[in-house]
Amino acid sequence: MGKRILLVGGGGREHALAWKIKQSPLLEKLYCAPGNAGIAKIAQCVPIDGEDLPAIKAFVLENNIDLVAIGPEGPLVAGLADVLRQEGIAVFGPSKAAAEIEGSKTFMKGLFAKYNIPTAKYKSFTNADDAIAYIKKEGAPIVVKTSGLAAGKGAIVCQTLDEALHAVKRVMVDREFGSAGDSVVVEEFLAGEELSFIAFVDGKNVLPLAGSQDHKAVGEGDTGPNTGGMGAYSPAPILTDQLHEQVIKQVMIPTVEAMAAEGRPFKGVLYAGLMINNGEMKVLEFNARFGDPETQPLLMRMKSDLVPLMEASATGSLAGVSIEWDSRTALCVVQAAGGYPGSYKKGLPITGIDAADALADVAVFHAGTKLDGDQVVTAGGRVLGVTALGDGIKEAQQRAYEAVDKINWDSCYCRRDIGYRAITRIEK
């Protein structure tokens, strides 16, 4: 009997997960809640929000689901995994207590301090005056972060004292991010290059994925405001074998052990956002799920079946498991709505997706899309993740943009320089 799987989420990450799960010979039926126009082509989408825990639970029980894979942080932090595990359902994703590592930066920084995990110097505040006094003492550049979830917009990197004081006002006085800003982390600014280190975890064992890097800023040359991510690629040339060992030994294993020791064993995907500077490594943050858009290139390179990996994470049996990777490079370019991450239009018809998708070694992953009759229209800020495989980063980049150029809609925007850091590094 094949597996009946429910995937929770509806972004580009979930389309990539659905695309990969769909290739598994172990699969009987794939559902996705709520999905998007791209996922609807390969899975049965059901219009349930991932944070509606009773509705997801009812669907899972009624439809004899064997395994639930949870994509986004919202349902994890809300406790969806706990609700399902109580019913004896296998879940790929951490419990509410374990997802706190992403859901509360104050908790996360406290864990780092207690277990000596390398990170930026910081202080945590619930009172604006205290935060202001600390910022004045430390000086700029400095970083102000909401402790709670803020859809990638709650970390404010401040180059000047004025900017930092303004950030405190936005978060703690004007409460722009609501209760996510009840507690605030103020931390030292770290220079360097970012690296995403993503691993499957089963409570005790760590099985790393290939390295990846994303581009968070909206503008070329990594300028302008941060977004959910404008593009990504794997492998990441910055991740040498030596750095890989260092991350495993100094970050991943100590964190998994720390979470177990705190009575919050972590099962699912543990994602370390790292800052690397001259071989020195510090953790910026942890996420309790796959990155979006890093998942798109990572899964295009993954040769192993994803379903047994998710099951091994859920059942605590990752020891001795390995993952086979395509040696080629995969690169994802996010096509976004003009105006994003600010305000933008929705409902615009998209052309050229099929032509782009038909190119060899190209996959067009949908994020904010929906069907309007037979027509795919935009339905979010990040709309598509056009992903291509190539021999090396330059070929992957060229193929991805070849596919991007077949797609269009009114006010479509993408960065034209995804992968430039990796290209500069290999050309040095």
Ligand X SMILES: Nc1ncnc2c1ncn2[C@@H]1O[C@H](COP(=O)(O)OP(=O)(O)O)[C@@H](O)[C@H]1O
Q: Which is nearer to Mg ion, 81 or 288 (CB)?
A: 288
- Enter the DSSP assignment of 52: -
| Partner interacting with residue 187 (select from Mg ion, ligand X, none; CB below 5-8 Å by kind) | ligand X
- Taking CB under 6 A as the criterion, the residue among 16, 43, 111, 155 binding ligand X is 155
Instruction: Show contacts with ligand X in window 103-122 (CB under 6 A).
Output: 120
Stretch that binds ligand X, among 28-36, 77-85, 147-155, 391-399 (CB under 6 A): 147-155
CA distance 422 to 416: 14
- What is the pattern of x (binds ligand X, CB under 6 A) and - over residues 200-219? ----------------x---
CA distance 346 to 356: 22
| Partner interacting with residue 342 (select from Mg ion, ligand X, none; CB below 5-8 Å by kind) | none
- The most distant pair of C-alpha atoms in the chain lies apart, rounded to whole Å, by 64
Q: State CA 426 to chain mean position distance.
A: 25
Please count the residues of this chain forming the interface with ligand X, following the rule CB under 6 A: 17
Instruction: Show contacts with Mg ion in window 270-289 (CB under 5 A).
Output: 273
- Taking CB under 6 A as the criterion, the residue among 139, 152, 178, 392 binding ligand X is 152
Name the residue number minimizing CB distance to ligand X.
Answer: 155
Q: State CA 71 to chain mean position distance.
A: 9
CB 7 within 8 Å of CB 18: yes
- Cβ-based neighbours of 340, under 8 Å, separated by 6 or more: 218, 227, 381, 382, 413
- Taking CB under 6 A as the criterion, the residue among 190, 300, 336, 384 binding ligand X is 190
CA distance 293 to 335: 11
The minimum distance between CB 140 and ligand X, in angstroms, equals 12
The minimum distance between CB 145 and ligand X, in angstroms, equals 6
Q: Which is nearer to ligand X, 46 or 157 (CB)?
A: 157
The minimum distance between CB 177 and ligand X, in angstroms, equals 10
SS (H, E, C) 337-374: ECCCCCCCCCCCECECHHHHHCCCCEEEEECCEEEECC
- Number of DSSP helices (H) and strands (E) in the chain, helices first: 15, 21
The minimum distance between CB 219 and ligand X, in angstroms, equals 13
β-pairing verdict for 193-202 and 267-277: antiparallel
Query: Using the rule CB under 6 A, is 273 a contact of ligand X?
Result: yes
| Partner interacting with residue 157 (select from ligand X, Mg ion, none; CB below 5-8 Å by kind) | ligand X
CA distance 208 to 198: 6
Interface residues with Mg ion (CB under 5 A) are 273
Contact set with ligand X (CB under 6 A): 120, 143, 145, 152, 154-155, 157, 187-190, 194, 216, 226, 273, 284-285
